[in-house]
Amino acid sequence: MGVKTANRSTIYLKGSTKIIVEFFEFAINSILYQRGIYFSEDFKFVKKYGVTLVMTIDDSLKLYLKRLLPQVESWLMAGKIQKLVLAILDLDSRETLERWQFDIQVIDDNDSSKGSASAKKKEKTEKQIQTEIREIIRQITSSITFLPTLTDKCTFNILAYTDRDAEVPIEWGDSDPHIIENAEQVRLRSFSTNYHRVDAMVSYKLDEDL
């Protein structure tokens, strides 16, 4: 019985991790597209989650994401990652202008076995998850209405907040937290799979003139 549940849980965990990594990929692409970090011609349109989303065709960006996301996946599997942050920086001044933060919480296994509420969560279908993801991506798309426009040329960086004891490959290194002074933040929707919960948030530098 115990073995069986363990197997089931690993299957769930794998599925959940896969969903989350996929979501990260689309979210990162959407943000880079919406915020104009790359040219809009560098993206192609794909259907996903029942909506049309963008996916990069820029080789350097593709390579970067290809190397980044598997590591995130392994951290997710190990439960060592706390949050993933996409920071948008001004190219000239190297000042952090926006932080797109995705907090990852592992839904406790004990809790899920105890509570009836979590039992409901167990029943969460892929369709429900997709609906939630779609809502977040819609929010990302609509967030350009309130975010200040990026006038200067910008670049981006992706930061991972991991546990102290997480395994760190050689191509990863410690980073500065890219703190935004005088930040304003907006909490976006969240979505949850059977094993993880992802809260999205965007904080941005307030326009000093205002």
Partner 1 sequence: MSSYPPYKRSAEKQPQRHDRNTEGNPFLRSTSSASSVLGDSQFSQFSQSETSDRPFKRTRVEVDLPERRASPVTPSRKSFNFIPDLRGLKDSIFSQGSLNSISSTSPKLVKDLSETRLKIASLEYTKNDFESKVARLETDKQNLELQIKELNLSIEKLKGDRKFFCDRELETSKKLERIEAEFSQSAQNSARELGRLRNEVSKLTQELQDAQNFNQTKESEYNRTIEALKSENKILEHSLESLNQQIQRQNEISVSRQALLDQVQAQLAETQQKLQEFYDMSSQLDNVQNMKKLNQEQSEYIQSLERTKRELTAELKHLKTLSPSIQILDEKVKTYENELSNMNALRRKAAELEAENAMLKKEKVEWTSYLDKEKDIVNVNSAYSLCKELASRRIEIELLQERGRGLEEKIKSKDVVIAENESKIMQLNNKCVAVENRFSNELEALKKTKMLLQKEVEMLTDTLKSYDDEEKHLQPDNYDGEKTKIMERVLKEYKKALYETREGQVTEPPDTRQAEEPSDPADASFHSVQVMQQNEELQAINFNLEKENANLKKEIFSLQNQISVLEHTELKIHSTELIKQNDLQQKSIRELKNENALLKKEVSSLDQQIATLEQAVGRGEYNRDSTRLLEMKENPSSIDYAIRQSTLQALKTENQQLLEKLKGFQLMREESGDEDRQKDTIDVIPIQSFLNLEGENKQLAEQNAKLEIRITRLLEAWKAKAQEFREAVYSLLGYKLEFLENGRVRLASMYSEQDDHSFVFTSDDDNRGTMQLIGGGNAEYIKSLDDLIKFWVVDRGSIPCFLSSLTIKLFENTTFGPVGRDMDMSVNSNVNFGTSSYDNLMSE
DSSP annotation of 38 reads S
Residue 159 in the binding site for partner 1 (CB under 8 A): yes
Closest by CA position to 36, among listed 137, 202, 147, 153: 153
Q: Amino acid identity, residue 147? A: L
Residue 46 in the binding site for partner 1 (CB under 8 A): no
Q: Where are the beta strands (DSSP E) in 36-131?
A: 43-48, 51-56, 81-90, 96-106
Question: By C-beta, is 32 or 129 nearer to partner 1?
Answer: 32
What residues numbered 191-210 form the site for partner 1, per CB under 8 A? Answer: 201, 203
Residue 164 in the binding site for partner 1 (CB under 8 A): yes
Shortest Cβ distance from residue 7 to partner 1 (Å)? 31
Shortest Cβ distance from residue 159 to partner 1 (Å)? 5
Question: By C-beta, is 17 or 162 nearer to partner 1?
Answer: 162
Integer-rounded Cα radius of gyration of the chain: 18
Write the CB contacts of 177 (distance below 8 Å, at least 6 apart in sequence): 159
Distance, in Å, from the CA atom of 20 to the CA atom of 87, rounded to the nearest integer, reads 19
Are residues 203 and 99 in contact, defined by beta-carbon separation less than 8 angstroms? yes
What residues numbered 58-117 form the site for partner 1, per CB under 8 A? Answer: 60-61, 64, 67-68, 82, 85, 87, 89, 91, 94, 96, 99, 101
Residue 28 in the binding site for partner 1 (CB under 8 A): no
* Number of residues forming the site for partner 1 (CB under 8 A): 43
Q: Kindly tell me which residue out of 113, 131, 142, 157 binds partner 1, with binding defined by CB under 8 A.
A: 157
By CB atoms closer than 10 A (0-12, 13-18, 19+), residue 195 is buried
Shortest Cβ distance from residue 96 to partner 1 (Å)? 7
Shortest Cβ distance from residue 18 to partner 1 (Å)? 21
Residue 35 DSSP SS3: coil
Residue 176 in the binding site for partner 1 (CB under 8 A): yes
Are residues 206 and 184 in contact, defined by beta-carbon separation less than 8 angstroms? yes
Interaction site with partner 1 (CB under 8 A): 39, 41, 60-61, 64, 67-68, 82, 85, 87, 89, 91, 94, 96, 99, 101, 155-164, 166, 168, 171-181, 183, 185, 201, 203
